[in-house]
């Protein structure tokens, strides 16, 4: 039941704008203040944590701290209006209010830090830690979206599978640190040439995939040849004996699954590997083939 309630809260507030979330928090804080007037000496500080935590988690650290201050103001005002408490103007009372304020601040900062760490963990789980490209799982998620969009609007889609030739030689002879530097160079070279809408992912130790949405065959061949040339030049400048085998497929009628898209590009890449390496082989499904 608690898990269901937690999921319900997350779904509800995640779909709201920050302004709407702050409005709900302020409304809840007002209700608590009214209740505080009638409860007198009974502290509702735990319940004040609700709007504070919601503001800190769904809006940000500053909003959480703001509601810490508003919660304390509500507590003080409620005590002033209540004639029940005998400690309203005592040193002990203000000491208790200060402790409650400190408690709310600490909890607000903890919620903010926890949210930030959770977001960082989610980001790390979706990206390759060395090259900062998407990993295989993240690529499949985004590729499914692009496939659906291609079906909906009848758009072409190109996928390129890139394998580094002789990468093992670099690792064995020059060391893994040089190998890591090489992979980072490959990614930076590709990123200088791709569009913001293109998707780059690392699939294995020396394998990368580029998805080019809304890209017909002629444009894909021109773009990938440029990528191939730039990668070769980057390797030559560093004296690395690495070349690139690229298999690419342009779909006019996009398959329904990402697996099929990847399989077709992967098979073309292996055709290049077995046929001498270091070139681009492109196929346009349903129309013509380039190679």
290 pLDDT tier (thresholds 50, 70, 90): very low
Question: Pairing relation of β-strands 199-202 and 207-213?
Answer: antiparallel
Domains recognised in the chain with CATH numbers: 2-126 (no CATH), 136-290 (3.30.70.270)
Find the catalytic residue in 36, 79, 206, 264: 206
Say yes or no to pLDDT of 56 above 60. Answer: yes
d(CA 123, CA 177): 24
Q: Residue 281: beta bridge partners?
A: 247
d(CA 78, CA 88): 10
DSSP secondary structure, 13-52, as one string: HHTS-HHHHHHHHHHHHHHHHHHHHHHTTS--HHHHHHHH
36 pLDDT tier (thresholds 50, 70, 90): confident
- Annotated active-site residue 206? The verdict is yes
- Greatest mean pLDDT among 12-16, 30-34, 97-101, 170-174: 170-174
Considering the chain, what percentage of its residues have pLDDT values greater than 70?
85
DSSP secondary structure, 165-218, as one string: ETHHHHHHHH-HHHHHHHHHHHHHHHHTTS-TT-EEEE-SSSEEEEEEET--HH
pLDDT of residue 88: 54
Rounded to 5 degrees, φ, ψ at 207 are -125, 135
pLDDT tens digits along 117-164:
776 666 656 788 888 899 888 888 888 989 988 888 889 999 999 999
């Amino acid at each position: 039941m608690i898990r269901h309630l937690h999921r319900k809260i997350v779904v509800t507030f995640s779909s709201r704008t920050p302004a709407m979330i702050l409005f709900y928090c302020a409304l809840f804080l007002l209700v608590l203040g009214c209740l505080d007037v009638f409860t007198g000496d009974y502290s509702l500080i735990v319940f004040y944590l609700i709007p504070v935590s919601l503001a800190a988690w769904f809006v940000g650290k500053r909003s959480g701290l703001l509601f810490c201050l508003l919660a304390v103001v509500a507590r003080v005002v409620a005590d002033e209006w209540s004639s029940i408490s005998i400690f309203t103007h005592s040193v002990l009372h203000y000491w208790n209010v200060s402790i409650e304020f400190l408690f709310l601040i600490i909890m607000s900062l903890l919620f903010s830090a926890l949210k930030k760490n959770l977001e960082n963990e989610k980001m790390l789980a979706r990206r390759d830690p060395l090259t900062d490209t998407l990993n295989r799982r993240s690529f499949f998620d985004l590729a499914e979206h692009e496939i659906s969009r291609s079906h909906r609007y009848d758009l072409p889609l190109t996928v390129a599978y890139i394998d580094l030739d002789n990468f093992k030689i670099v690792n064995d002879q020059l060391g893994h640190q040089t190998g890591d530097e090489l992979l980072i160079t490959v990614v930076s070279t590709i990123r200088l040439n791709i569009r913001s809408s293109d998707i780059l992912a690392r699939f294995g130790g020396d394998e990368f995939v580029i998805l080019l949405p809304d890209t017909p065959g002629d444009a894909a061949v021109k773009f990938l040849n440029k990528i191939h040339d730039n990668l070769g030049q980057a390797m030559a400048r560093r004296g690395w004996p690495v070349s690139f085998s690229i298999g690419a497929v342009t779909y006019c009628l996009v398959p329904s699954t990402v697996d099929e898209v990847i399989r077709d590009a992967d098979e073309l890449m292996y055709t290049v590997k077995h046929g001498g390496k270091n070139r681009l082989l492109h196929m346009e499904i349903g129309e013509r083939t380039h190679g």
